[in-house]
Amino acid sequence: MRNNYRSNRNGQFLITNDYGNDPFVINIEKVTEQNKNFRSTLWTGTYMQLTIMNIEPSSSIGLEIHTDTDQFLKIESGIGQVFMGKIKENLTFRQTIKEGFAVFIPSGTWHNIVNIGKVPLKLYSIYAPPHHTRGTVHRTKSDSD
């Protein structure tokens, strides 16, 4: 079995690529907490995709909708606010989220996640089916825009 990641001298995980369609095991909590990129895909398969995210204080994912993808988010650290709704101008669902919280976003739902804390909001996201191009790395939010 080959290593899917390696660690540097400080014990931080260094993701070397998207490992989709290969068997993959990783400490998702540690990798998510150590992530410095706004968004990186870790595993893109035929029917599912795993990404990790780092949202800086006072920043957000940005208002978006996925018409053909359900999405699951797990918050590993930080505090945020999730907004969701069927109408772009009327996001009636609002909830504070923090470490340990899971967010389920149904296909066809407008949504945004805003970091309302003083430290980066760290989370991982599972898309089914995949949403981003395999191997996507957005170092900053502006890279993703």
Q: Indicate whether 2 pLDDT > 60.
A: no
pLDDT above 90 (res 66): yes
Helix residue ranges, H only, 1-145: 28-34, 141-144
Tens of pLDDT along 123-140?
A: 999 999 777 666 677 677
Q: pTM for this structure? A: 0.82
Mean pLDDT of 34-60: 94
Q: Where are the domains of the chain?
A: 5-144
- Are 76 and 29 in contact, with CB atoms under 8 Å apart? yes
For residue 21, the SS3 value is coil
**Average pLDDT over every residue of 66-88:** 97
54 CB-near residues (< 8 Å, 6+ apart): 35, 36, 37, 38, 120, 121, 122
Q: Which CATH number fits domain 5-144: 3.40.50.720, 3.40.50.10210, 2.60.120.10, 3.40.640.10?
A: 2.60.120.10
Tell me how far CA of residue 141 lies from CA of 63, 74, 112, in angstroms. 12, 19, 13
Average of per-residue pLDDT across 44-72 = 95
| Residues 76/51, Cβ–Cβ less than 8 Å | no
Between the alpha carbon of residue 113 and those of residues 47, 93, 97, the distances in Å are 24, 12, 9
Q: Contact, 52 vs 65, CB < 8 A?
A: no
